[in-house]
Amino acid sequence: MKSTLMLNSQLLETIGRLPFQAITQERKAVLEKLVGYVQQRINEHLPVRLNFICTHNSRRSQLAQIWAKTAAAYHNVHIESYSGGVEVTGFNDRAVEAIKKAGFRVTRKGELNPKWFIFYSDDSEPVVAFSKLYDDAINPNRDFAAIMTCSHADENCPFIPGAHLRVPVRYEDPKLFDDTPLELQKYEERSIEIATEMFYVFSQIQKTDG
């Protein structure tokens, strides 16, 4: 069931254009493990905590955290969405611009590794985005699923303390196109790809009574 939450109008337009037909059966099989985890937690009336992890917590993991929280709110599924990395850098400015173009309202606080406040609705608390380690104090230390969004972090972090499930949902790094004519296009493509898959995941969740 869709939420009655009033999302930003431009963001709703972006959601309405998401290319769900582009998700292949092979990719749906990858996402099914995440769907199953969320559904099980909902069925058991347990909190759903998702920590999206990539090496620098700068691009893909941030986008996934933001889009997962937005998609869950849209589909009236309560989750706690987090992100982290194995190194601290900053939420990349190019990824921030992709989020703005999608229709999020964004404010910033600080200069070095600033905190970004991402609003998908004026009626909800923002997603707070900044680069941090996956075990930062702001993130859960137990009872969560670790969603590995890049191959480097997946391969170099064989064990995530406190995670009771590890799900590889990898995305190509738009950083490969930094300072090229394709930069803006590739960041937007990656944002939309992640958005599409997160909205697909939460569209599959069946709410339970009680």
Active-site residue 1, yes or no?
Answer: no
How far apart are alpha carbons 92 and 115 in whole angstroms?
11
Active-site residue, from 7, 54, 96, 198: 54
Burial zone of 210 (CB within 10 Å; 0-12 exposed, 13-18 middle, 19+ buried): exposed
Active-site residue 157, yes or no?
Answer: yes
Could you give the 3-state DSSP secondary structure of residue 173? coil
Active-site residue 54, yes or no?
Answer: yes
Active-site residue, from 18, 34, 118, 150: 150
Active-site residue, from 7, 66, 102, 157: 157
At how many degrees (to 10) do helices 25-43 and 183-203 cross? 50
Active site residues: 54, 150, 157
